[in-house]
């Protein structure tokens, strides 16, 4: 166990026991742990000390607590959060499955019905969050978890929490980037102080384009060139890349990728409703067994918080 894992294990004060590291990047690391009281596995995401050094712990916990109240079958809930000096972390349920990023790396482009189902699930999650005043700000394949025929969106509001905890400094200020450049809306990329639901719609449309085309509309570019592309370059039409994509689906994604937020769908719900139904999809309003399980998980989260 390295120094960060050992410090985390000590900070958890016996409530959780860290088993092993799952991975992560330069800004955060993921650990698999066991909640001792309930004997269940959880995932703990820890901000790297460098990323957390200029973050107010109190404000981070306050902002995370706002997102912890989001309950929806396609939202991975936050169970708890903590802070000790420059050690900031939050706890999520452990779900079996893989991320959309891993599936894309393995398969390239996805079957059209699978892509539509994932888009609809994530748009559903975003619609609920936006109604509660929470903008995700980092929608990308790595934050979408796949379980059977369902998708779950994770890291809700974390980018917002970090921005607020840094005293409102924008995420695109030097050294404070939390969003992922390849999936930032034009307004987020240039550092606008306030981004809204339409920024998440743009990011989700990018994910949809990548699932169907097998690659993002802008790839293989330097950071500066990528930002410039999102600001000014029109993606190659999706049906030129993959002719069998239904016109209504290609049109919905093209509108979601509009440079001007006013030209996009104004809500995630509107984007969802513009998507075609996947073949064999259950009627709207009927939950699959997995969604019922996710609803039960949300209820358990509420019980855990009250306890």
Both 147 and 270 in one domain: the answer is: yes
Strand partners of residue 24? 29
Beta-carbon contacts of 235 under 8 Å, excluding residues fewer than 6 positions away, are 209, 217, 218, 254, 257
**203 domain-assigned:** yes
Predicted TM-score of the model (pTM): 0.82
Burial class of residue 79, CB neighbours in 10 A (0-12, 13-18, 19+): buried
* Sheet (strand 98-99) strand order: 98-99, 144-147, 150-153
Which CATH number do you get for residue 256?
1.10.510.10
237 and 274 in a common domain: yes
Residue ending a domain, among 79, 94, 109, is: 94
Q: Is 236 a domain residue?
A: yes
Same domain, 195 and 275: yes
Q: What pLDDT score was predicted for residue 77? A: 87
Clarify whether residues 258 and 216 are in a common domain.
yes
Q: Are 81 and 199 found together in one domain?
A: no
- 106 and 14, same structural domain? no
Residue 78 lies in a domain: yes
Same-domain pairing of 127 and 271: yes
Does 132 lie in the same domain as 117? Answer: yes
What's residue 54's pLDDT? Answer: 60
- Digits of tens for pLDDT over the chain (307 positions)? 578 888 888 888 889 999 988 876 656 788 999 999 989 999 998 877 665 666 667 777 777 777 778 889 999 988 888 877 678 888 999 988 899 999 999 999 999 999 999 999 999 999 999 998 889 989 999 999 998 889 999 987 566 666 665 555 443 343 333 468 889 999 988 888 788 999 999 999 999 999 999 999 998 888 889 889 999 999 999 999 999 999 999 999 999 999 999 999 999 999 999 999 875 554 444 344 444 444 444 444 443 444 4
**Within-domain flag for 293:** no
Determine, yes or no, domain membership for 291: no
Please confirm, yes or no, whether 138 is among the known catalytic residues: yes
If asked whether residues 14 and 89 sit together in one domain, one would say: yes
> Which is the catalytic residue, given 138, 149, 173, 260?
138
Report d(CA 123, CA 116) in Å as an integer: 10
The answer to whether position 246 is within a domain reads yes
Do 104 and 75 lie in one domain? The reply is: no
Residues 43, 145, single domain; the answer is no
Domains in the chain, number: 2
Q: Answer whether residue 294 is part of any domain.
A: no
**pLDDT given at position 173:** 41
Specify whether 114 is located in the same domain as 261: yes
CATH of residue 39's domain is 3.30.200.20
Question: What pLDDT score does 174 carry?
Answer: 35
Is position 289 within any domain? no
Bridge partners of 212, per DSSP, are none
State both tokens at 63: 């902002």
What domain range is 165 assigned to? Answer: 98-280
pLDDT recorded at residue 239: 96
Q: Which two tokens stand for residue 181?
A: 């450049």
């Amino acid at each position: 166990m390295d120094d960060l894992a050992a410090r985390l294990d000590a900070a958890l004060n016996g409530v959780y026991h860290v088993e092993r590291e799952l991975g992560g990047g330069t800004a955060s690391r993921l650990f698999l742990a066991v909640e001792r009281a309930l004997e269940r596995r959880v995932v703990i995401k820890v901000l790297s000390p460098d990323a957390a050094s200029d973050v107010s712990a109190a404000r981070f916990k306050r902002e995370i607590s706002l997102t912890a109240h989001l309950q929806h079958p396609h939202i991975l809930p936050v169970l708890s959060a903590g802070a000790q000096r420059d050690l900031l972390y939050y706890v999520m349920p452990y779900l079996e499955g893989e991320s959309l990023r891993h599936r894309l790396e393995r398969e390239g482009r996805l079957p059209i019905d699978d892509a539509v189902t994932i888009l609809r699930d994530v748009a559903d999650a975003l619609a609920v969050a936006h109604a509660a005043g929470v903008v995700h700000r980092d929608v990308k394949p790595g934050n979408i978890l796949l379980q059977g025929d369902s998708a779950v969106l994770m890291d809700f509001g974390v980018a917002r929490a970090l921005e607020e905890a840094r005293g409102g400094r924008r995420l695109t200020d030097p050294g404070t980037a939390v969003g992922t450049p390849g999936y930032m809306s034009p307004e987020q990329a240039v550092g606008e102080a306030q981004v809204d639901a339409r920024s998440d719609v743009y990011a989700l449309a990018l994910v949809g384009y990548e699932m169907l085309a097998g690659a993002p509309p802008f790839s293989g570019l330097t950071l500066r060139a990528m930002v410039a592309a999102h600001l000014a370059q029109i993606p190659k039409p999706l049906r030129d890349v993959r002719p069998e994509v239904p016109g209504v689906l290609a049109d919905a994604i093209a509108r979601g990728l509009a440079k001007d937020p006013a030209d996009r769908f104004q809500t995630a719900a509107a984007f969802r409703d513009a998507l075609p139904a996947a073949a064999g999809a259950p009627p709207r309003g009927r939950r699959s067994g997995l969604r019922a399980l996710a609803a039960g998980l949300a209820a358990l989260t509420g019980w855990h918080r009250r306890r």
